[in-house]
Amino acid sequence: MAATSMSAPATAKLGSVVKIRAAGLKPGRYSLVLAIEVLPGGAGPTNCVGTVGSAAARAGEVAITGALPRRLGCYMGVGAVEGYRNTGPGKYHLTLCVQFHPNGCSDSASFLLRKIRLIR
Does residue 1 register a pLDDT over 90? no
CATH code of the domain containing 59: 2.60.40.230
- Concatenated DSSP letters for 54-113? EEE-BTTBEEEEEEPPSEEEEESTTSS--EEEE--SEEEEEEEE-EEETTEE-TTS--EE
Its domain, for residue 94, covers 5-119
For the stretch 8-65, pLDDT in tens is 999 999 999 999 999 999 999 999 999 998 876 666 678 999 999 999 999 999 999 9
Global confidence as pTM:
0.92
| Distant-in-sequence, close-in-space partners of 76: CB < 8 Å, separation ≥ 6 | 43, 44, 45, 46, 47, 82
Q: What is the mean predicted confidence (pLDDT) over 85-91?
A: 96
Domain count, the chain: 1
Parallel/antiparallel/unpaired status of strands 62-67 and 29-38: unpaired
Closest C-alpha to 61, from 94, 21, 32, 98: 21
